[in-house]
Structure 1
Amino acid sequence: MDTSESTTGRPDPEPEAPRRRGWRRWAMDTRPLRRPAYRRLWGSTVVTAVGSQLTAVAVPKQIYDITGSSAWVGAASLAGLVPLIVFALWGGAIADTMDRRRLLLITNTGIAVTSLLFWFQAFAGLESVAVLMVLLALQQAFWGLNAPARSASIARLVPADELPAANALGSTVMQTGQVAGPLLAGALIPVVGLPELYLVDALALCVTVWAVYRLPSLPPLTGATARRAGVKEIAAGFRYMWGHTVLLLSFLADIVAMVLGMPRALFPQLAAETYAPYGEGLALGLLFAAVPIGAVLGGLFSGTFSRARRHGWMVIGAVVVWGAAITGFGLSADLWVAVAFLAVAGIADMVSMVFRGAILLSAATDEMRGRMQGVFTVVVAGGPRLADVLHGTAGSAFGPRTAVAGGGLLVVAVMLLLAAAVPALRRYRV
């Protein structure tokens, strides 16, 4: 057995690493990767971050090829959202009642089988939107069950002082996948064809299953394996959240930032109107890529995260910077200035993700971490979709740039009001 992990998934203590000096103090903190269990979990994320994006591109592409309608593409997104919400909440409750390693094995296997079914229907030439939507709903259900257990496991694999670094490592990989995955999909489709994208994702998931298999057992620390995971347990998670203000505020901070300040629904209109002189295709690609690129840069230079102790202030500051950057984006008529503002917003989003995740893992007890991560999954998945509706409506009524700038200002105002009115978040520290 590796000496840096135990059979119960508790990280063994290690001597404190020497303080990094010079430019190294800004570089990404990779201490969690010295722990074999976390390294396996993170390594599986590296593989699937790109693979999952291949399927994320292939499904809407195939639906559009069959129907020629963007409305069907939007309907498919909704078909995936509903099971994601339901099963993320349920999956969080399950993650608090059973060995999380076992749950990860079951759900990752389910996602891999679903990817194989995606490949089979494309290879067989079924051309059925109904089949695609059912498979998408099934895939998102498995992912909803998987995500809370995966996130909640991190606190059992690394010590508390390394949680921000672990979250930064994971978030950077996911954001990198959001940039590299679609680019790779675009390059592969003309060469190997659409069905093979699903097959590559399925093969990548086999690597994930093997990595999870090699994790230590992660049973509930309180011996809660006999407890059911039903509506009562889900409701208990919400009561727990309402009783812990700092957890509630960490969710509200993300809702404020995403619902009021995520303008991606207006990117096509801005590319076609405001930034048309630069080339509509170029402008659209840059607008969609700018936030993930900024987030990756924020992760690469996240070395200072591990030294921060006032996690609440880090979240507040990050959300305010996000809102200010989105405001600047809305006011920018020059494409490159607009992209720069979006990249700054991406850096702020990375900081917010890292410290909100650290708060959830450190402020919640282990028997509640799964349910809190279930709510977190719902908020992260649902917020941008609500923002699409809000910004699309506001953009039609007031114009896209006004809607974007106004949303950014609202983010700043609402976040500062929340921080002033409820001191729990700004007072929270490790």
Structure 2
Amino acid sequence: MWIGSTLAGIGGQLTVVTVMLHVFTLTQSTFAVSMIAVAGLVPMILAGLYGGMLADAFDRRRVALIAATVTFAATTLLAVLTWTGTETIWWLYGLSMTIAAANSVGMATRTAIVPRLIAREQLAAASALNGVAFGLTVMAGPALAGLLVALTGYGWTYTIDVVLMLAMFLGLWTLPSLVPEGEVVRPGLASLADGWRFLRRAGNIRMQFLCDILAMTFGQPLVLFPALGTVILGGGAFTTGILTAAVAVGTFGSSLLSGRVVQYRWHGRGIERAVQAYGLSIVLFGAVLLIGSFLSPATEKAPNVGLIVAACLALALSGACDNVSSIYRNTMMQAAVPDAMRGRLQGVFIIVVAGGPRVGALYAGTLATFTALWFPPLLGGFLVIGLVALLARRNPRFAAYDAADPVP
């Protein structure tokens, strides 16, 4: 499953970045790029909630296979439309929404599967291994997307994603049947209400959700990358890919060196400190862009290499910090939540993880439209640091969370 998810994830990142570049080419608007994320938010939320209920009611292997089939079909249609020259911005929005919804179901289900395959003491190491996979996908995918779009166009990039998606089926087919343990509640309002009642009692789980929402809402500058490759930094589509890959370099490196991170027991305290360090890295990224705004404008053929390197270092630090937080958040979710409730809580968790960046895209895209490209990350990083400190002060039990005695 890990190998299949990794290969399919590389293809998925190809499509994510290519759709962004495609929309920017059609509209020349950063706001239009940000609306890709916003358009997929509601379908993703509904699919995540319902997908979590499905994962708690039916064979999780089968649910994951159906979700992968929907993603595969939508990506194939995207490639066909592009090759035939019939794609429009509305098709790009619609298929992105479909892929986001299907991925939301698939991610919630696959994550709920992991604790059934390994022992509890291995969960933190498994989360670090997923960080390696994420680092590989986001390092390879965006860089390849920028290169392929520049050299061959959009059609080939979407087509390669279609081929790589086949690996997901191989990984899922090898799993055994995985019916949820404990009391099964059929999908519906009763199941959803049962999950929300559990979440109301789970103060530590709520706190980690809030920390991640703050980080992704105010500290996610991804939507700005296409414009940065055109104006402040230069380099065009290739710079967009390099900036996105820089985040993954930090994720990948911190996963490879995560031995001491995995051994640290106080996961609540680890999340708090990692998210605040993430906010600081985003402040540094905004400062690099601010400096660049006072220099001579860069172009696609004459990029500012020094600024690009500095921006990449700040983004790599953000990826490392986010990954440390992710290791602790995933482990807390998988260890502290009972199996019969795990799908529904993973659905909410995926909504937070994937929905936060989409709200962040709206924040960054809108604010950049009315101010400057450097302003959203600079302001947002400071907001992350301050708001997480305030939350931690109001929730002292979170810092006392002990992985040896997981309490939701």
* TM-score, normalization by structure 1: 0.80
1:301-312 equivalence runs, <5 A: 301-312=257-268
Give the structure 1 partner of residue 196 of structure 2. Answer: 238
Give yes or no for the alignment of 1:116 onto 2:72.
no
Give yes or no for the alignment of 1:218 onto 2:178.
yes
Q: Judging changes above 3 Å, is the alpha-carbon distance between structure 1 residues 280 and 64 closer, same or farther for their aligned structure 2 residues?
A: closer
- Asked whether the equivalents of residues 162 and 306 of structure 1 are also in contact (C-alpha less than 8 Å), the reply is no
Q: Judging changes above 3 Å, is the alpha-carbon distance between structure 1 residues 341 and 122 closer, same or farther for their aligned structure 2 residues?
A: closer
Aligned amino acid, residue 360 of structure 1: M
1:130-149 equivalence runs, <5 A: 130-149=90-109
Give the structure 2 partner of residue 291 of structure 1. Answer: 247
Answer with 146-155 or 201-210: which moved more.
201-210
Per-residue Cα deviation, 1:193-244 (whole angstroms, up to 9, x for no partner): 53333333222222211221111211011152xx321133223222211211
Aligned amino acid, residue 303 of structure 1: G
Give yes or no for the alignment of 1:163 onto 2:119.
no
Structure 2 CA distance for aligned equivalents of residues 376 and 203 of structure 1: 29
Q: CA RMSD in A?
A: 2.8
Structure 2 CA distance for aligned equivalents of residues 131 and 344 of structure 1: 35
Q: Judging changes above 3 Å, is the alpha-carbon distance between structure 1 residues 400 and 211 closer, same or farther for their aligned structure 2 residues?
A: closer
Q: Judging changes above 3 Å, is the alpha-carbon distance between structure 1 residues 96 and 173 closer, same or farther for their aligned structure 2 residues?
A: same
1:97 positional shift: 0.8
Structure 2 CA distance for aligned equivalents of residues 402 and 94 of structure 1: 42
1:174 positional shift: 1.9
Give the structure 1 partner of residue 339 of structure 2. Answer: 366
Aligned amino acid, residue 175 of structure 1: G
1:280 positional shift: 5.6
- Asked whether the equivalents of residues 7 and 168 of structure 2 are also in contact (C-alpha less than 8 Å), the reply is yes
1:13-412 equivalence runs, <5 A: 41-63=1-23, 72-189=32-149, 194-222=154-182, 224=184, 227-266=185-224, 279=234, 281=236, 286-332=242-288, 333=291, 335=307, 336-395=309-368, 401=374, 403-412=376-385
1:79 positional shift: 2.9
- Asked whether the equivalents of residues 325 and 341 of structure 1 are also in contact (C-alpha less than 8 Å), the reply is yes
Per-residue Cα deviation, 1:152-198 (whole angstroms, up to 9, x for no partner): 11111111111111111112212321221122233334666533333
- Asked whether the equivalents of residues 205 and 333 of structure 2 are also in contact (C-alpha less than 8 Å), the reply is yes
Structure 2 CA distance for aligned equivalents of residues 194 and 170 of structure 1: 28
Aligned amino acid, residue 384 of structure 2: V
Give the structure 2 partner of residue 413 of structure 1. Answer: 386
Structure 1 CA distance for aligned equivalents of residues 393 and 203 of structure 2: 14
State the secondary structure of the residue aligned to 1:125.
coil
Q: Which has the larger radius of gyration?
A: 1
Structure 2 CA distance for aligned equivalents of residues 188 and 400 of structure 1: 26
- Asked whether the equivalents of residues 142 and 244 of structure 2 are also in contact (C-alpha less than 8 Å), the reply is no
Structure 2 CA distance for aligned equivalents of residues 351 and 427 of structure 1: 18
Structure 2 CA distance for aligned equivalents of residues 85 and 384 of structure 1: 13
Q: Aligned match of 1:423 in 396, 400, 403? A: 396
Structure 1 CA distance for aligned equivalents of residues 4 and 118 of structure 2: 16
State the secondary structure of the residue aligned to 2:104.
helix
- Asked whether the equivalents of residues 83 and 144 of structure 1 are also in contact (C-alpha less than 8 Å), the reply is no
- Asked whether the equivalents of residues 255 and 323 of structure 2 are also in contact (C-alpha less than 8 Å), the reply is yes
1:269 positional shift: 6.6
1:69 positional shift: 6.0
Give the structure 2 partner of residue 11 of structure 1. Answer: none
Structure 2 CA distance for aligned equivalents of residues 284 and 200 of structure 1: 19
Q: List runs of 5+ in structure 1 lacking aligned partners.
A: 1-40
State the secondary structure of the residue aligned to 1:219.
coil
* TM-score, normalization by structure 2: 0.84
Structure 2 CA distance for aligned equivalents of residues 191 and 280 of structure 1: 14
Per-residue Cα deviation, 1:331-358 (whole angstroms, up to 9, x for no partner): 4437344433332222111101111111
Structure 2 CA distance for aligned equivalents of residues 232 and 380 of structure 1: 24
1:148 positional shift: 0.5
- Asked whether the equivalents of residues 311 and 355 of structure 1 are also in contact (C-alpha less than 8 Å), the reply is yes
Structure 2 CA distance for aligned equivalents of residues 83 and 290 of structure 1: 29
Aligned amino acid, residue 85 of structure 2: G
Q: Judging changes above 3 Å, is the alpha-carbon distance between structure 1 residues 65 and 329 closer, same or farther for their aligned structure 2 residues?
A: closer
State the secondary structure of the residue aligned to 2:40.
helix
Q: Judging changes above 3 Å, is the alpha-carbon distance between structure 1 residues 396 and 181 closer, same or farther for their aligned structure 2 residues?
A: closer
The share of aligned pairs that are identical, in percent, is 34
Aligned amino acid, residue 243 of structure 1: R
